[in-house]
């Protein structure tokens, strides 16, 4: 029994383990309920094609929530940066200029968000909600409310690089998703920027008195989220070879759900990149899975709600168990010898 407890405690320490389990359980369920679909490779390729924008957004949002903040404007950034990308490409025919300016447009939105939050002191949920309306509105104004097709971009290298099919099968954006995830894991867990985010989310006063420049870090955080959102927007636009004014709207709640399913704490101070990775794939595969299982598309949201409730509960229960065991061990064995 004791060994079992110790090994459970060790396992729980692996980042994102509960959510990885949930993911595989879900996949097994789908393999059982929709055997035909889920034993073929096509459904997985379709996930690898559709999930990456959601995944990349969730990874960025993980940082924001870890810092104890919220960003609701990223869905508007997706539309805005997508529009900038299409506009520059169609006007000048230079995809890389379009790419850079689209990323910059995301950075600009983020900078204004960060300024409102860190300098003016508006709570981030309000500031970014206002930003969502504003930038979405501006996008609609600028685009005339139309969707823009950019099928001329297909032969360009940028299309192959970001959304091509490797070996004719694997969508390139899935590798970009993995790459961004690995990179951001290191930023959150091994870089001073990530550590400052962790401390700001944990206790902003501690962060301040210990020498973290809270204002600058928060502004950087929102700029970072803006750039990440713009990148997701570019991937989406490239994949669809189309821009439309509401292209980010459907991603807002699923992204937030993915982060929470992953186990990142709403209270701030703790965030898991691995959790958000699997959270995004769970959210992204639910719809297809539920539909393929034959119980009907109407069930998708209901099942998403259940999975989210189950994952969040699982995370809380497991971390509570861990705390109990440790606390007792500490009481027995530790004291201060001499100061």
Q: Is 332 in the site for another protein (CB under 8 A)?
A: yes
Write down the least CB distance from residue 263 to another protein, Å: 13
In a 3-state reduction of DSSP, which class is residue 203? coil
Answer yes or no whether residue 337 interacts with another protein by CB under 8 A.
Answer: yes
The pattern of x and - marking residues 250 through 279 that bind another protein according to CB under 8 A reads ---------------x---xx---------
Tell me which of 191, 250, 297, 306 binds another protein, using CB under 8 A.
191
Residue 176 class from Cβ within 10 Å (0-12 exposed, 13-18 middle, 19+ buried)?
buried
Cβ closest to another protein, residue 16 vs residue 82: 16
Dihedral of CA atoms 66, 225, 59, 312 in degrees, nearest 10, equals 40
For another protein, the closer of residues 45 and 204 by Cβ is 204
Give the list of residues 6+ apart from residue 218 with CB closer than 8 angstroms, or none: 67, 69, 114, 117, 118, 200
Distance of CA 91 to CAs 88, 95, 158, 160, 241, Å?
Answer: 5, 10, 17, 21, 16
The residue within the footprint of another protein, chosen from 1, 144, 168, 205 (CB under 8 A), is: 205
For another protein, which is the closer residue by CB, 4 or 336? 336
Q: Measuring CA to CA, which residue among 133, 78, 70, 114 is closest to residue 265?
A: 70
The answer to the question of residue 195 lying near another protein (CB under 8 A) is yes
Residue 24 CB, nearest approach to another protein (Å): 28
Tell which positions 143-172 bind another protein, by CB under 8 A.
none
Burial of 49 (0-12, 13-18, 19+ CB in 10 A): middle
Q: Which of 1, 4, 120, 339 binds another protein (CB under 8 A)?
A: 339
Q: Give ∠ CA 12-55-95 in degrees, rounded to 5.
A: 150
Residues 302-331 that bind another protein (CB under 8 A): 323, 326-327, 329-330
Of residues 213 and 313, the one with the C-beta less far from another protein = 213
Q: Report the C-alpha gap between 233 and 171 in whole angstroms.
A: 16
Binding site for another protein (CB under 8 A): 186, 190-193, 195-196, 198-199, 202-203, 205-213, 265, 269-270, 323, 326-327, 329-330, 332-339
């Amino acid at each position: 029994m004791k060994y079992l407890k110790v090994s459970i405690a060790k396992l729980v320490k692996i980042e994102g383990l509960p959510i990885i389990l949930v993911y595989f359980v879900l996949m097994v369920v789908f393999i059982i309920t929709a055997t035909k679909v889920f034993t073929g490779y096509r459904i997985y390729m379709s996930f690898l094609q559709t999930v990456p924008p959601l995944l990349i957004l969730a990874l960025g949002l993980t940082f924001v929530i870890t810092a104890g903040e919220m960003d609701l404007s990223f869905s508007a950034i997706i539309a805005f940066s997508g529009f900038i990308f299409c506009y520059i490409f169609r006007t000048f025919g230079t995809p890389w200029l379009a790419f850079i300016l689209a990323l910059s447009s995301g950075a600009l939105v983020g900078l204004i968000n960060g300024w409102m939050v860190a300098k003016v002191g508006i709570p981030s949920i309000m500031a970014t909600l206002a930003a969502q309306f504003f930038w979405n509105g501006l996008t609609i104004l600028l685009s005339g409310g139309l969707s823009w097709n950019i099928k001329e971009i297909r032969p360009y290298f940028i299309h192959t690089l970001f959304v091509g099919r490797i070996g004719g099968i694997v969508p390139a954006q899935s590798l970009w998703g993995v790459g961004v995830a690995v990179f951001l894991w290191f930023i959150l867990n091994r870089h001073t920027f990530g550590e400052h985010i962790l401390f700001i989310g944990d206790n902003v006063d501690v962060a301040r008195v210990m020498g973290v420049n809270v204002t600058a870090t928060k502004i950087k955080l929102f700029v970072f989220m803006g750039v990440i959102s713009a990148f997701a927007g570019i991937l989406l636009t490239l994949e669809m070879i189309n821009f439309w004014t509401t292209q980010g709207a459907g991603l807002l709640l699923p992204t937030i759900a993915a982060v929470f399913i992953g186990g990142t704490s709403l209270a701030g101070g703790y965030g898991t990149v691995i959790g958000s990775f699997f959270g995004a794939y769970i959210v992204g595969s639910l719809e297809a899975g539920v539909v393929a299982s034959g119980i009907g598309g109407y069930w998708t949201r209901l099942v998403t709600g259940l999975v989210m409730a189950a994952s969040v509960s699982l995370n809380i229960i497991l971390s509570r168990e861990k705390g109990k065991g440790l606390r007792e061990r500490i009481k027995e064995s530790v004291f201060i010898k001499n100061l």
